[in-house]
Structure 1
């Protein structure tokens, strides 16, 4: 074999490396121009908004692109609502808006003006835990606890919506809230307990 002879494997390897290098060269201008365009985009004018959170009006000046989750966590320091996937898939950021569950990572703060927002911090009444909070403790329905605020807020809505009639129904209507620790059986049991309490209090 001469110095110019190469094996088939060496030829394929060299071609692959060259292809990747060329692709990188061709793509770089596009990435550079995109980054430059984003940097050059004018900043949005801030908005003065009033959010009613846990029964208290909060006046904020926010970028109109601010999510409700970021407004709660970064501006009002209500960090109970957690940042999880940022795509509305895990449910860790769930809060109540006018009594209905919403994924706060997908909701713009500016569009929540005039609505009644309840976070996990506003669920207890003074020193008395909400029945579902108490049931979560009793049933050991959390492990790492990261998803727990969203699970509880979704569970409160699940009960209020009348979707806690059976374990199967609870699982279906809580399917938008994920628990990586796998405490689903305990979560379902806690919701059943709290639903029974709510039913007895309501005279059902």
Structure 2
């Protein structure tokens, strides 16, 4: 059976996007192969490692399980969209400063899952942080530095909110 490609439209990192996809193509492949955004990693391909995490309408999702057709009309954010004109997002600087980056393969997914949490809750508990990244596997850091980095980023975001600054 020959399936023809279909045009999908959505917002990606604040910009409108149109791309042709196969009806059963996975979103991680569209991001990496068609849109050339390789920050989203392709790990297990089964939704178990979280390296492919992106935000869809603010929710952390595994793009390796997401049919590309499901993003029509949504707002998608990838790791490439986290940095703003102000520079690195506090999550990015905190991951660097706290040594939460080792091999780096899990880092984009960890940051996206953490961002989904901090966008909704600027003062998460340790348990909430652990829950937010529970779908992300890291084989290098042991998670303590990652949790510390997320707590540090939350402090930075609260401090900037007091100053009237906002990270988009």
Deviations 1:30-76 (A, max 9, x none): xxxxxxxxxxxx13221111132111122211101111111100000
Q: Which has the larger radius of gyration?
A: 1
The answer on 1:139 being equivalent to 2:131 is: no
Question: Which one has the bigger helix percentage?
Answer: 1
**TM-score normalised by L of structure 1:** 0.75
User: Tell me, what secondary structure is at the counterpart of 1:202?
Assistant: helix
CA drift of 1:127 comes to 5.7
Structure 2 match to 1:173:
132
Distance 1:163 1:75, change over 3 A: same
Distance 1:59 1:77, change over 3 A: same
5 Å matches for 1:113-132? Answer: 113-126=72-85, 128-132=87-91
Distance 1:44 1:163, change over 3 A: farther
Larger relative contact order (CA 8 Å, sep ≥ 6) = 2
Structure 1 match to 2:62:
103
**TM-score normalised by L of structure 2:** 0.90
Please, what is the CA RMSD of the aligned residues? 1.7
Deviations 1:158-198 (A, max 9, x none): 22232853323311221111101134111000000111122
Deviating above 6 A after TM superposition, structure 1's stretches of 4 or more consecutive aligned residues are: none
CA drift of 1:201 comes to 2.7
**Which deviates more, 166-175 or 147-156?**
166-175
Aligned residues: 163
